[in-house]
Structure 1
Amino acid sequence: MSARTRRQKAALAVNGEESEEGNGVATTPSKRTPSKKRTRSAAREGPRENVFLFWPNLIGYTRIILAFASLYYMPLHPRTCSILYSVSCLLDALDGYAARYFDQSTTFGAVLDMVTDRCTTSCLLVFLGSAWPRWAIIFQGLICLDLASHYMHMYATLSMGGSNQSHKKIDSSRSWVLYQYYNSKVVLFICCGLNELFFIGLYLLSFSSPTLSPSLLQPVPDAQPFSAQPGNPAHPQPGSLFASPWSAGALELARANKIDSFWPWVITGVAAPVMAFKQFVNIVQMVNASKWMAEGDLEARRNRKRN
């Protein structure tokens, strides 16, 4: 073989244009056989999955749709709103079951679930604050506690426990209360469910209890005839006063169509102790997360001083 021929074959081998079997037949890059290593790697990886279309996340999207629908009906239609809101809350348990059944537990799904819970509860508490302005500061405080507690807990878990650790994985040595709360599915379901049920009961009472929410449409004693006081018998039809269905007066009209307050009182009374315990858990969770992050800060300072 001449030197020129040897140089040509060497160049072909370097450029990868010669077949892997070394039979001397040159092939073009488009017809080149893929390496066995690359083929085995692709087989191990399998088909690419779309996390956003996992069953638990689809259930999460459904929860969001139901929550928005309940907010639409919240000012004037308490029965419809309560049903939609309750179904959205019940699906919170179903998405966790689906994640375990289909082996589709994801970080995105966990965050989606937590954000949906926080947002829907906050929206309901905002309405309660507007329904009872005198007690608005209490509902505002509950919103702040709920958001701060879960944010600090999630941040502490990711920064101190690692990016792959679930916020529901609690060491019993760190907090016995949180360990019982997160590791027992029954306890977690009862606490979350009755906590939401308590606020739903308060929401229904804002439409049904004259004691808690006296309607402005009740006649006022000694009111002057033809006065502008809503509810006065000599007053014109309410429809001529409140043309907009979303006005404050329309909300009072909805309250005037009273629903029975017996079951809302029962729901609120039964769920009240569990709601109080849930707020205690939020406080423990926030304090525990603060201590955990403070321990990390002290350890980081010690490491910097040693270095």
Structure 2
Amino acid sequence: MTPADLSLTVQHAVRRAVDDGALRVDVPPRVKVERARPGGTGDYASNIALSLARPSGRSALDVAGVLKERLQGAPGILAVDITGPGFLNFTLRRDAGGDLVRAILAAGAAGAAGAAGPPYGHSSALSGTVVRFAEVTESRARVVTDVVVRLLRSQGADAGFGGDERIHVLGGDYLPGTLGVDAARWSLLRAAPQDRVLDGPPLLVQHERNSLFRVRYAHARVRRLLVNGAQLGLRPSYETDIHAPELLGVLGDHPVALLSAARHRAPDRVARHLEATADALLAFQHTVLPLGDEKPSAAHQSRLALAEAAGTVLAGGLSLLGISAPDQI
């Protein structure tokens, strides 16, 4: 991990904290990191918590704690320590990208084989939490509540129906007969609860401006890359470190995105995360397979494994939303 990669990772952590409502600040355009000074801890340090303390109305140590929670386990980072009045200190890992990719692929392979073990991003973080929702009849509330129950269960909560808790959303018709199930569900789930549903007809257009198309197309591209790679004798196997901070970053964020969506009863957070994953994958895809006279190499196998990991995350996220992940479009 380079200092630029680390800066981007810390910036992403600030953005997640803002999205979660844990911090109320403007996300800085960049985050300064520098080599840890003599006597310090780790490889690099940042004063981002001190700079955000005043605008957030919290102490630098509080801000540092919020960011540390979102940085632990991030690709490339072995440890995060808080020193002094609120400095964040980072100890970097070697081959952290490989650990992440292998973990995602192992979880996906186990699930496909029917073996025990949760899908990547599922956890027991909400174990012991019991949530019961009232039965709802309004179409959008019914779809949103169904997905929220799935999200809560994915994080270990005991969630179901038969209680008093309600999800309040603006109205919106569920039109699977007109739009098809996938577009109809995306139109209801992509919009935040306080927003009106997305206009349906544009979701049927196969264009990059269509967020549902980008997400499903990205998954289809992964499946095609795997087929084309096999024809070249390449198999996905992460054997050498790959420079892909954006893609590795969003894949590492996936567990946090699911937990945040469950806690806030907000499926739109999953949809937005899938869009970010798709965009990062589509920007990365052109580097995966050999071009021209390039010979297949271990780097190509590693890139193919990273692409497959992205496809696994896209498929899992779409499944939680009740939307299909096609092998081809």
TM-score, with length taken from structure 1? 0.31
Q: Which has the larger radius of gyration?
A: 1
More helix by share: 1
More strand by share: 2
